[in-house]
Amino acid sequence: EIGLAVIATSFTLIAVFLLIVEMLGLANLVSQESVRRTLVALRVTPMTVPELYIAKGVVGVGLAFVQSVAYLAIVGALGSHPLLLVSALLLGSVLVTAFGFLLASVGRDFFSIMGWGIIVMIVLVFPGFTVLFPGALSGWIKAIPSYWLVDIVNRVTGYGAGWAEA
């Protein structure tokens, strides 16, 4: 039983890490379109700015969500409570897409996106260590938004928790 929980823990961390890496991809995509002046070209079309960002957001959420769900499906971690896992990963995809937009607004090129992105990535990945070392960190870790995503995915994949426990 302990061995299965350790394997499920690694599934949890990799699935969440896939989401967080997509944050960098979306941020780089948006900043490159700003640098290459593609966004200015899109402003000539009848598309409005909110429609543009909604479209970018849907693509960002879709890319992150599909990759993480596909990974969990391939490794067989969607066995217990798949709807709960899919819901948590969808909300996690929205979270990392929002952080991707924030990074794109701060960074102006690939290197600034990577510089700021690594800092944000370290902060968002940090709650994963609460899964690996359960008693090592204090309660302040719950202030990081990705903690709740890591916690739900870990409980469901590793311990078979349902909707009530999550």
- Residues 131-166 have pLDDT tens digits of 777 776 677 888 899 888 888 888 887 777 788 887
Instruction: Sort residue 162 into left (φ over 0), alpha (ψ -120 to 50) or beta.
Output: beta
Confidence at 39, pLDDT banded by 50, 70, 90: confident
With beta carbons less than 8 A apart as the criterion, state whether 60 and 97 touch. Answer: yes
46 burial class (0-12, 13-18, 19+ CB within 10 angstroms)? exposed
Give the type of residue at 91: L
Query: Can you tell me which residue has the tokens 């490794």?
Result: 75
> What is d(CA 126, CA 43) in angstroms, rounded to the nearest whole number?
39
pTM for the model stands at: 0.85
Query: pLDDT tens, 55-105?
Result: 889 998 998 999 999 988 888 878 778 899 999 999 999 999 999 999 988
With beta carbons less than 8 A apart as the criterion, state whether 27 and 35 touch. Answer: no
